[in-house]
Structure 1
Amino acid sequence: MEASVHTCKATPADAGIISRIIERSIRVGCVQDHRNNLRTVANWTHNKTTDHILPWFTDRRLYLNIGLLQDKPVGVAMAASSGKVAFCYVLPEWFRRGVGQALVRDLEGWLIEQGLRHSRLNSTRTGEAFYRRLGYQAYAQAFAVAGLYAIPMHKALPEV
Structure 2
Amino acid sequence: MGFEIRQATPDDAPAACSLLRRSIEHGCAADHAERPEILQTWLGNKTPQNVASWFGSPTNHAVVAQAQVHGVIELIGLALVNQAGRLALCYVDPAWLRHGVGSALLDAIETQARAWNISKLHMHSPASASPFFERLGYVNSGKDRACFGLECDFLWKPVDATAPPARRRFCNCSQ
Q: TM-score, normalised by structure 2?
A: 0.84
Q: Which residue of 2 aligns with 1:147?
A: 149
Letter in 2 for 1:24: R
Which of 19, 22, 25 is residue 21 of structure 1 equivalent to? 19
Listed as ranges, the matches of 1:1-160 within 5 Å are 3-70=1-68, 71-139=73-141, 141-145=142-146, 146-159=148-161
**What secondary structure, in the 3-state scheme, does the structure 2 residue paired with 1:126 have?**
coil
Distance in 1 (CA, whole Å) between partners of 2:80 and 2:43 is 15
**Residue ranges of structure 1 left out of the alignment (5+ in a row):** none
Distance in 1 (CA, whole Å) between partners of 2:145 and 2:160 is 31
Shift of 1:38: 1.8
Distance in 1 (CA, whole Å) between partners of 2:87 and 2:121 is 7
Identity of aligned residues (%): 28
Letter in 1 for 2:126: T
Give the paired residue count: 157
Distance in 1 (CA, whole Å) between partners of 2:144 and 2:55 is 29
In proportion to residue count, which structure has more helix?
A: 1
Q: Give the superposed CA RMSD.
A: 1.5
**Residue ranges of structure 2 left out of the alignment (5+ in a row):** 163-175
Shift of 1:158: 4.3
Q: Is the 8 A contact 1:34 1:147 kept in 2?
A: no
Q: Which residue of 1 aligns with 2:170?
A: none
Q: Which has the higher contact order (CA 8 A, sep 6+)?
A: 1
Deviations 1:31-52 (A, max 9, x none): 1110011221110011011011
**What secondary structure, in the 3-state scheme, does the structure 1 residue paired with 2:84 have?**
coil
Letter in 1 for 2:6: C
Q: Is the 8 A contact 2:120 2:158 kept in 1?
A: yes
Shift of 1:8: 0.4
